[in-house]
Amino acid sequence: MEKTIDESVQGSALSLEKKNTNSRKLYIESYGCQMNFSDSEIVASILSNEGFNTTQELKEADLVLVNTCSIREKAELTVRKRLEKFNAIKKDRPHMKVGVLGCMAERLKHKFLEEEKIVDMVVGPDAYKDLPNLIQEIDEGRNAVNVILSKDETYGDVAPVRLNSNGVTAFVSITRGCDNMCTFCVVPFTRGRERSRDPQSIVDEVNDLWEKGYREVTLLGQNVDSYLWYGGGLKKDFAKASEMQKATAVDFAQLLEKVALAQPRMRIRFSTSNPQDMTLDVIRTMAKYENICNYIHLPVQSGSNRILKAMNRLHTREEYFELIDNIKAIIPDCAISQDMITGFPTETEQDHQDTLSLMEYVKYDYGFMFAYSERPGTLAERKLTDDVPAEVKKRRLAEIIELQRRHCQERTEQHLGKVQEVLIEGTSKKSEEHWMGRNSQNTVAVFPKENYKVGDFVMVRMDDCTSATLIGKAVGYSDNNV
């Protein structure tokens, strides 16, 4: 399952890489997972070369694109409401074109274009390089669609335009697609099979970000731990690779090391990991390099072995515990977060209690918790009946959220009294007089601004906290500060 980070409207920010020669304006909204936000930056880059600069003003846009998510029904409903608004604006701006990108585009292409006629263009996640041709089609008055999935497209040769950027943190995509066929998830059908990006192109992008002033990158993929580069091809075709290709192959632990060594003062994060694919080599690499942050997003989805099997999760409760134990043994102060689904078909009260007991064992720092939402086209939708009543889902979700809130409080309090490095990302949302940043464990910290600036690495003494935010005072610059 993809980590959903925001279902609210998020339009594109004005790009720092505007071209004065561009005469048309592009407005992008992104929904869902981090991969969608990363893809929007790729789209903005491709269209920058086609005469478009990004804008935050919807009513001045010549082209409006919505990068969509199909993980949950709520995300799809939100997108539909936005498309209704765009079409209302379009009545006063008939030259304005509207397009849908991403996972919903692939899944609902015919409905959008032919039945509902609410968009001019539908573009799947692997077809962004075809945007110049598709835009020409709609400029000439024809609808345009390309949702063909690719076996080799990684966009490794496209330098993204950073949208909504704070100038400090950035995403770097390392894989596309997913080979894990979890029964609740649409990603393998909307994003295709998994393929990995050339490691040198990843290192080059990280180096370029450092030169542009960025101080933290998140290596991004549906399942980063299964990253495998051997000169091309899909991971499942590795058996056919030559002996030379196998000998020089790069796995995720090795990629992580390459990036850490390339920029020793840049913070490195990654997301998302799958329990069955995370190796001890990855954990040891994290422990070896100080600039790799002590934080792992490790979705579990359920604490019940029976439900895990029904979800086609390729790990058991016991194997997950073993991985958690190894992480805590090798990186004692590592923060761990989760994705959790409650109310999956046939889930019993005992299954729910198994989930709560797993949470008690791990004591996650953060969590992303959802009630099961049946997604069209998935194996669960085809084979299983959504038989847990809505009121039961709601009650179980509330119990999971309350337990996670208590664990958040406990985990955040463990930082009190410590002096920790914080990377300043911007002004606190609640006070113009305070900076906001994160420590290595990804916990938000706020502290008085004084003479520090965005992008500084600062040592902060943690004096107080809420359940999820540390409150402190800066005591000086970090040794990593530039």
Backbone angles phi, psi at 20, to 5 degrees: -65, -25
Biggest CA-to-CA distance, the chain: 64
Two structure tokens written together for 305? 């072995």
* 182 annotated ligand binder: yes
Burial of residue 206 (CB within 10 Å: 0-12, 13-18, 19+) is buried
Backbone angles phi, psi at 309, to 5 degrees: -65, -40
- Neighbouring CB atoms inside 10 A of 216's CB total 21
* 293 annotated ligand binder: no
Q: At what angle do helices 252-262 and 280-288 cross, to 10 degrees?
A: 10
Distance, in Å, from the CA atom of 397 to the CA atom of 371, rounded to the nearest integer, reads 6
CA 296 to centroid of chain Cα atoms: 13
- Neighbouring CB atoms inside 10 A of 381's CB total 16
* CA distances in angstroms from 429 to 23, 160, 321, 451, 464, listed in the order given: 34, 27, 37, 19, 18
* Collapsed DSSP state (helix, strand, coil) of residue 314: coil
Distance, in Å, from the CA atom of 354 to the CA atom of 236, rounded to the nearest integer, reads 34
* 408 annotated ligand binder: no
How crowded is the C-beta side of 119, counted as CA atoms within 13 Å?
29
Distance, in Å, from the CA atom of 479 to the CA atom of 77, rounded to the nearest integer, reads 48
DSSP 8-state assignment for residue 100 = E
Distance, in Å, from the CA atom of 481 to the CA atom of 267, rounded to the nearest integer, reads 11
- Neighbouring CB atoms inside 10 A of 243's CB total 7
Two structure tokens written together for 207? 């180096």
Q: DSSP characters for 190-243? A: HH-S-EE--HHHHHHHHHHHHHTT--EEEEE-TTGGG-EESSSS-GGGGGGS-H
Q: What angle do CA 389, 392, 393 make, to 5 degrees?
A: 85
* 103 annotated ligand binder: yes
Residues at the annotated binding site for [4Fe-4S] cluster?
33, 69, 103, 178, 182, 185
Residues at the annotated binding site?
33, 69, 103, 178, 182, 185
